[in-house]
Chain A
Amino acid sequence: MLSHEPEVRVEVQNLRREFDSKERKVVALNGVSLKVREGEIFGVLGPNGAGKTTLIRILSTLLLPTSGVARVMGFDVASEPEKVRAVINMASGAERAGYDYISARGNLWFFSQLYGLPSEVAKARIKALSQLLGLDDYLDRKFYMLSTGYRQRVTIARAFINDPKIVFLDEPTIGLDVMTAMSIREFLIKEARENGRTIFLATHNMAEVDAICNRVAIIDRGRILTSDTPTNLKRSLGAPALVMEVSPLPVNLAFLGAVEGVKGFTTSVDEERGLARVQVVVESEECVRRALAGVAASGMRLVSSWRQQTTLEEVFVSLVGRGFVEREHEVGE
């Protein structure tokens, strides 16, 4: 049997998007290139303001790129939006849009008609999707009667109603409880595996990416820093991260940046215990010793320290030098 290379469904080359706001020009995407194939769940992971939503909006034909090319199923999103629209769908976790006085079923039927689905097909699909998403008992409730979680399930069902080749999801599980988020993730994995759908997922939830994405691109300030499978990315760091708890507050850890072999660190303050927790991404065991010695030399008290299995957060820290949250503060300034 010939193993065939899965087809490329999304191809982005050197994509750039600028926004002119009153005070300044914002470069939301700054030369993004990527390829996503059939059956892949592709995550775009980055802090607030990194450009995830902008990328999704360009790919789903809601926004034009300033320069660069983006193709979906081979169609150019800028010049052939109609062709792209026929094969995609999208949903945003912040949205949960629907007609309030219409039942969930009615809403889904309505959305299916925007794709010209014959009613029989639409009904069958609504049934199948709602079974998978645990919506069965809620289909006949009016939309406004549904809780946030169930509205979100309807939104996800909507995004698959037209049997799309590619689904763009922007933070699909934001604000949901753990169980709901998990069942949505299971659904996404199933859709990609069994139906060969491509799922393009923008999120700043690292656990989500770790749990379901085949590949992830880490994006920061409009640039893709790296792109690989989550496992490979974590493995690439070499040594497990060093975590230290130091006191008293406030701590000054600037020297850590200069320690040889430290790729970056992120700090969170525990006010209650009066200490700071520092996560340091290190190259080697040698570097760990240097970092610990540096703390001792600085006069701060080392309350405790341990090593931790690497997560995508450390990958981000190693690339940017700072943590997600710190990065969001910086960008906000």
Chain B
Amino acid sequence: MSSVKTVLASIRIGWYRDFGWTNPLTGFLMKTIAPVASVLSASIVYWLGSSAAGSFDPSHVSYIIVGAALYTHVAGYSWVPSQAISEGKWSYVFPQVFISPKSSTPFLVGRCLASFVTSALTSLISLAFAYYVAAAIFKSSIPFIVTPLSMSLLLGALLANVPATLGLGILLAAYTIFASKFEWALPTYVAGLLMVFSEALFPVSVLPWPLSAFGNVLPFTQFIRAAREAVVYGSVSAYSYYVGYSLLGGLLFLGVSLWAYRWAERQGRKKGIIDRKVV
């Protein structure tokens, strides 16, 4: 019960951290600009290449918009737990959370969930925005299924993906406990890896063998596939398969991450490295 309270409290801290420096609207707009731009970048790259090659296909634009919006979504909140730790090390918040006898996991989960909400909203906005802008600048109609069913399926996919992203977040947090340098550079790596390996912009089969297999088993790949089934292709049965995969795979991953984090936390306490600060 008390850990639920911790989660809720740290959700509030998370929102405050993200929006406290300005009014919520400005803060939210600032957070939306980046994903909108990166979704558009990817669609334009596809448009330019395929127009020149004579292979332009409007439905592939939907493919890319969904992929780009959702990989940035995952990237946007998966690194929050490790950010919470590295910032906390500086501001002495984390050592306080850490020295309390309870596990610090609920704190991290709360921070991550706070960002989930923000990131889900910004991704959906970038999705919609990119859809209109792409239709206008590519002068073609981009297929998208917008029905109550498809929207609920998309929402379902976003939720089913939470365990996997939390898993990634907690795993990175486990690393950050030990890292004393440059841990803030992790998000760029996470975003980059997701961009390449989660079938965000092109099928993983494009990658050379062991890499393609790696991309294929990622729950994030299944999540993006499920979302595409929901709003682009419209196959409910394929959707169910992918969502199931992403949820179960995610839960498995989360389990492993939690175990790794517990281990890291114990080591961290034993070695007293939690408040070590090196720029």
Contact = CB atoms under 8 A, between A and B. Distances in A.
Are A and B in direct contact (Cβ within 8 Å)?
Answer: yes
Contacts of B278: 100, 144
A100 B180 CA distance: 14
B206 interface: no
Contacts of A101: 279
The A interface, classified by DSSP as helix, strand, loop or mixed, is loop
A100 B278 CA distance: 9
Interface string B265-279: 000000000000011
A144 B279 CA distance: 8
Interface string A96-121: 00001100000000000000000000
A295 B278 CA distance: 56
Contacts of B279: 100-101, 144
A258 to B, nearest CB: 47
A286 to B, nearest CB: 54
Interface in B225-279: 278-279
Contacts, number: 5
A228 to B, nearest CB: 43
Interface size class of B (residues with CB under 8 A): under 10
Contacts of A100: 278-279
Interface string A295-307: 0000000000000
Nearest to A99: B279
A143 to B, nearest CB: 9
Nearest to A101: B279
Contacts of A144: 278-279
Interface in A64-110: 100-101
A144 B181 CA distance: 12
B223 to A, nearest CB: 40
Interface string A141-163: 00010000000000000000000
Interface string A243-261: 0000000000000000000
A100 B279 CA distance: 7
A144 B276 CA distance: 12
A298 B75 CA distance: 72
A101 B278 CA distance: 10
A221 B54 CA distance: 78
A104 to B, nearest CB: 15
A242 to B, nearest CB: 43
A72 to B, nearest CB: 34
A144 B278 CA distance: 7
Interface in B182-212: none
A101 B279 CA distance: 9
Nearest to B279: A100
B183 to A, nearest CB: 15
B180 to A, nearest CB: 10
B6 to A, nearest CB: 32
Nearest to A143: B279
Interface in A124-148: 144
A102 to B, nearest CB: 12
A107 to B, nearest CB: 14
Nearest to B278: A144
Interface in A154-199: none
A200 B279 CA distance: 32
A58 to B, nearest CB: 30
A331 B165 CA distance: 50
A101 B182 CA distance: 13
A113 B167 CA distance: 50
B125 to A, nearest CB: 34
B50 to A, nearest CB: 46
5 contacts: A100-B278, A100-B279, A101-B279, A144-B278, A144-B279
Top 5 nearest A-B pairs by Cβ distance?
Answer: A100-B279, A144-B278, A144-B279, A100-B278, A101-B279
Interface of A: 100-101, 144
Interface of B: 278-279
